[in-house]
Amino acid sequence: MNSDRLSKRLATVANYVPKGAILVDIGSDHAYLPCFLAKNIGITYAVAGEVAVGPYQSAKGNVLSEGLSEIISVRLGDGLDVVKPGEVEYVTIAGMGGALITSILEKGKDKLGSVKRLILQPNISAISIRQWLLDNSWMLVTEEILEEDGKIYEVLVAEKGKDAIDPLIPYGQSLEEGLLLGPYLVKERNAVFKKKWINEKKNLQRIYQQLENAVQTPDTIEKKQELLHKIKLVKEVIQDEESKWS
Ligand code: SAM
C-alpha cells in the first residue's frame, strides 16, 4: 500500500473527508491517509499526529518524499495534543481499538469545538465509541462495515449535534441494540455484518461456557449475566440468518 492507493479500510475513511477540509489524522503512522487526501481530494491542510517516534519519522519521511510538506504538518504528541483549539474541522482516527479512540476524544475535548465531523475506524469495541458520541452530543450520521484480508472493520461518522438535534435519533426504539451493533448497520444488515455477528455470537457463547466451567464468584455470575444479555441482543438480530446457514 502507498499514498496513491489506499487499503479498502482507509479508502472508506477517506470518502468522508471533503475537498478543502482542514483535518487532523491521529495515529497517522506512515501518513498514508493525509498524503492520499492531499494528492487526490484537494484538502486545504492536514496535521498528521503520532505518539510514537518510529511512525512519526516514517510519516515525516513520506510527507517529505511526496513533496507535501506545505500541506501536511507531521507532529509528535499524544492524541489531540498535537492541534490547537480551533485549528481543525475534521478528525480521523483509524486502526485502533474503540476504547483508545474514545480516550483520545475524551482527553482532547477542548480541541473539538471547531470540529464538524469525526471519522472513526475502530478495530474492536465500536460500542464504546457510540456510547461516547451519545454522552457528548455527537450525532452518529452514518456507519459502514467492510471486510478486507479476512478482517472486518467498522467506520463510524459523527457530526456535532446541533442543539435542536437529539443524538438519540439514530438509535430509534432500541438503544442497547444500536450501541452494540450499530443503528445503521442493523438496519442495512449486509452480508459482512451478518458474518461478523454470527462469529461474535460464537465467541460470546464460548466465553460464557468458560465462565460456566469456572468457580462461581459474584463476579463470574455478573459477567455471565452480561454475556447472556449480549447473546440475546445478537440472536434477535441474526436469528433468521443463522437458520439459513445451519
Ligand atoms: N491510522 C493508521 C491506519 O489506520 O492504518 C495507523 C494505525 S496504527 C495500527 C495505530 C497508530 O496509532 C500507531 O502508529 C500508534 O503509534 C498510534 N497511536 C496510538 N495511540 C496514540 C495516541 N494516543 N496518539 C497518537 N497516536 C497514537
Percentage with pLDDT > 70 across the chain: 94
Residue 105, in any domain of the structure: yes
- Whether residue 237 is found in the same domain as residue 158: no
> What's the predicted TM-score (pTM) here?
0.95
pLDDT over 60 at 1, yes or no: no
List the residue whose alpha carbon is closest to atom 12 of ligand 1.
27
Q: How confident is the model at residue 4 (pLDDT cuts 50, 70, 90)?
A: confident
Best probe residue, ligand 1, of 2, 10, 51, 151 (max atoms within 8 Å of C-beta): 51
Indicate if 206 and 126 belong to the same structural domain.
Answer: no
Task: Specify if 3 maps to a domain.
Answer: no
The reply to whether 2 falls in a domain is: no
Backbone angles phi, psi at 215, to 5 degrees: -65, 135
**Mean pLDDT along residues 117-137:** 97
In this predicted structure, what is the pLDDT of residue 241? 64
59 and 160 in a single domain? The answer is yes
- Domain of residue 213 covers 191-245
Instruction: Judge contact between 68 and 35, C-beta under 8 A.
Output: yes
For residues 154 and 59, state if they share a domain. Answer: yes
Residues whose beta carbon lies within 6 Å of some atom of ligand 1: 10, 26-29, 49-52, 55, 78-79, 94-96, 100, 104
pLDDT band at 206; cut points 50, 70, 90: very high
* CATH number assigned to the domain comprising residue 73: 3.40.50.150
Q: Running DSSP on this structure, what letter comes out for residue 18?
A: P
Whether the pLDDT of residue 162 is over 80: the answer is no
Nearest ligand 1 atom to the CA of 81 is 24
Q: How many domains does the chain have?
A: 2
Instruction: Note whether 209 and 105 are same-domain residues.
Output: no
Q: Say if residue 243's pLDDT is above 90.
A: no
Summary mean pLDDT of the chain? 94
Shared domain check, 148 and 50: yes
pLDDT of residue 231: 96
Q: What separation in Å is there between the alpha carbon of 198 and the centre of ligand 1?
A: 29
Cite the DSSP H helix spans in 151-215.
175-181, 183-188, 191-213
53 Cα to the center of ligand 1, angstroms: 11
CA–CA separation, 224 vs 212, rounded Å? 8
